[in-house]
C-alpha cells in the first residue's frame, strides 16, 4: 500500500490535540468535512485552506498528546492528510489513527532529514514530496530510503478496510 504526496513541516514537539483540532469545537455536532475546516487552526491558520489530498505531515516528538479526542485524527484525514510521520506519537492519537485509517508512522531518521532540508532552504513551505510504502515499511525522500517497522497484520487490515468501523462491518457481513 503506497502513499505519495506533498510534505507539510511542523517542526515542534508536543503538538497537542487542542492545536490539531481546537477544543472550542469539540462538542459541536460537526460532520468530518466541517471538522477539516478547523484542522491545525491554532497552530497554522493557513493549513486547512491549503491542505489537499495525499499530503503528508512531518513533525517532531509526541505528536497528538493531550486529550484522546478522535476529532484530532478525523480533521486531518478529511483535510486531505494521508500520513503523519513523526519522531513519536502520543499513544491515544496513534491508536485513533489506526481506527480511522490515517497512517501514523514513527521514523525519526526521515524527520531529521526533512528538518535539515528545511533549514538549508530556509522556508516553512517547501515543495517537498515523500513516498511511503506501508507494506514494506519504507519511506522514500529525496535520494534516500528510510525504514520503519511495518505495521502488524491486524493494524494493516483495519487500515485497508478504511478504519475500524468499516473493518467491523466487513467482518460481521462475512459471518
As for how many domains the chain has, the answer is 1
Cβ atoms within 10 Å, residue 49: 10
Quick one: 160 exposed, middle or buried, by C-beta within 10 A (0-12, 13-18, 19+)? middle
Domain at 128, CATH number: 3.20.19.10
- Residue 114's pLDDT is 94
Question: Do residues 16 and 66 make contact, with C-beta atoms less than 8 angstroms apart?
Answer: yes
In a domain, 101, yes or no: yes
Residues 175 and 171: their CA atoms lie apart, in Å, by: 6
Degrees, nearest 5: CA angle 90-36-13:
30
Residue 67 confidence (pLDDT) = 87
- Residue 174 falls within a domain, yes or no? no
Residue 171 lies in a domain: no
pLDDT of residue 125: 58
What's the pTM value of the predicted model, to 2 decimals? Answer: 0.93
Per the domain annotation, does 80 fall within a domain?
yes
Residue span of the structural domain in which 123 resides: 2-149
- Judged against a pLDDT cut of 80, whether residue 121 lies above it is answered with no
Q: What confidence tier does 6 reach under pLDDT thresholds 50, 70, 90?
A: very high
Task: Judge whether 131 lies within some domain.
Answer: yes
Is 74 a member of any domain?
A: yes
Residue 122 has pLDDT above 80, yes or no: no
Confidence of residue 123 (pLDDT cuts 50, 70, 90): low
Q: What is the residue-averaged pLDDT of the chain?
A: 93
Amino acid at each position: 500500500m503506497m502513499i505519495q504526496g506533498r510534505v507539510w513541516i511542523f517542526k515542534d514537539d508536543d503538538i497537542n490535540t487542542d492545536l490539531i483540532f481546537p477544543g472550542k469545537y469539540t462538542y459541536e455536532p460537526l460532520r468530518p468535512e466541517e471538522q477539516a475546516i478547523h484542522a491545525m487552526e491554532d497552530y497554522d491558520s493557513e493549513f486547512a485552506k491549503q491542505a489537499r489530498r495525499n499530503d503528508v505531515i512531518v513533525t517532531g516528538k509526541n505528536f497528538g498528546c493531550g486529550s484522546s479526542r478522535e476529532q484530532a485524527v478525523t480533521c486531518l484525514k478529511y483535510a486531505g492528510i494521508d500520513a503523519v510521520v513523526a519522531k513519536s506519537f502520543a499513544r491515544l492519537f496513534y491508536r485513533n489513527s489506526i481506527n480511522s485509517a490515517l497512517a501514523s508512522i514513527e521514523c525519526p531518521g526521515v524527520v531529521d532529514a526533512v528538518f535539515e532540508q528545511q533549514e538549508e532552504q530556509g522556508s516553512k513551505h517547501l515543495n517537498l514530496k515523500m513516498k511511503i510504502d506501508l507494506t514494506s515499511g519504507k519511506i522514500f525522500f529525496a535520494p534516500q530510503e528510510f525504514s520503519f517497522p511495518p505495521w502488524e497484520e491486524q493494524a494493516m487490515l483495519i487500515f485497508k478496510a478504511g478504519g475500524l468501523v468499516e473493518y467491523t462491518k466487513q467482518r460481521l457481513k462475512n459471518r
